[in-house]
């Protein structure tokens, strides 16, 4: 139950970050995608405003822009999603909520890309500026700090639970001996 609460809390915290970024940048939508350890799949963990995208998984392994994001930490900048030919099945995911333009930056935790953070336009196309990229990268860094915090909390709970288990075992054997 505690781990579920931490994951839920994480999703809520990231959704709050998405909400703030949406307002600051005048974007229509923001989202966070978590990558699996082998960089084969991505899964939408949080977005704002909330959509049907949360929970959707998609392949990223053969998508050249995603591999550039993972390997070289290069942002993905697509001014016209409908005209893009490099996004593969990710384009289908973006089209679910009619995203017209997107800026996607890596979320890096402990020098490893763990996901991506996006700034999306739905109402109209947008040419993203260097300022947009830098702002998006700052918020991706903030998300990585949230991830580290959640991981620390989970590790602390594991240590506490292990200590409790040892104490119970010790009490059991002390009781049995006496």
pLDDT digits (tens, 9 = 90+) for 151-167: 444 444 444 444 454 45
Buried b (16+ CB within 10 A) or exposed e, 13-52: bbbebbbebbeebebbbbbbbbbeeeeeebbbbbbbeebe
- 170 domain residue, yes or no: no
- 28 domain residue, yes or no: yes
- 100 domain residue, yes or no: yes
- 78 domain residue, yes or no: yes
- 133 domain residue, yes or no: yes
Average pLDDT along the chain: 82
Bridge partners (DSSP) of residue 76 are: 104
What is the average per-residue pLDDT within 77-100?
Answer: 92
| CATH number reported for the structural domain that contains residue 37 in this entry | 3.30.450.40
Q: Tell me the backbone φ, ψ of residue 51, rounded to 5 degrees.
A: -135, -175
What predicted TM-score, i.e. pTM, was given to this entire model?
0.79
Range of the domain at 125: 7-148
The pLDDT score that the predictor gives to residue 2 is: 40
Q: Which residue has the higher pLDDT, 145 or 43?
A: 43
The pLDDT score that the predictor gives to residue 6 is: 43
What is the average per-residue pLDDT within 1-6?
Answer: 39
Confidence at 175, pLDDT banded by 50, 70, 90: low
- 121 domain residue, yes or no: yes
The C-alpha atoms of residue 9 and residue 73 are separated, in whole angstroms, by 27
- 162 domain residue, yes or no: no
Exposure on the CB side of residue 48, measured as CA atoms within 13 A: 18
Count structural domains, the chain.
1
């Amino acid at each position: 139950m505690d781990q579920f609460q931490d994951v839920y809390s994480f999703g809520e915290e990231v959704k709050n970050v998405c909400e703030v970024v949406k307002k600051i940048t005048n974007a229509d939508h923001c989202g966070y995608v978590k990558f699996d350890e082998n960089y084969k799949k991505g899964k939408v963990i949080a977005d704002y405003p909330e959509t049907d995208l949360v929970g959707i998984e998609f392949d990223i392994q053969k998508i050249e822009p995603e591999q550039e994001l993972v390997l070289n930490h290069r942002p993905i900048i697509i001014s016209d999603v409908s005209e893009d030919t490099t996004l593969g099945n990710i384009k289908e995911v973006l089209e679910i909520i009619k995203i017209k333009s997107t800026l996607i930056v890596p979320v890096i935790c402990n020098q490893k890309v763990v996901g991506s953070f996006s700034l999306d336009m739905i109402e109209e196309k947008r040419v993203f500026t260097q300022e947009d990229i830098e702002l998006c990268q700052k918020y991706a860094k903030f998300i990585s700090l949230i991830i580290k915090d959640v991981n620390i909390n989970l590790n602390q709970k594991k240590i506490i639970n292990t200590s409790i288990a040892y104490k119970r075992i010790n009490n059991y054997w002390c009781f049995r001996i006496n």
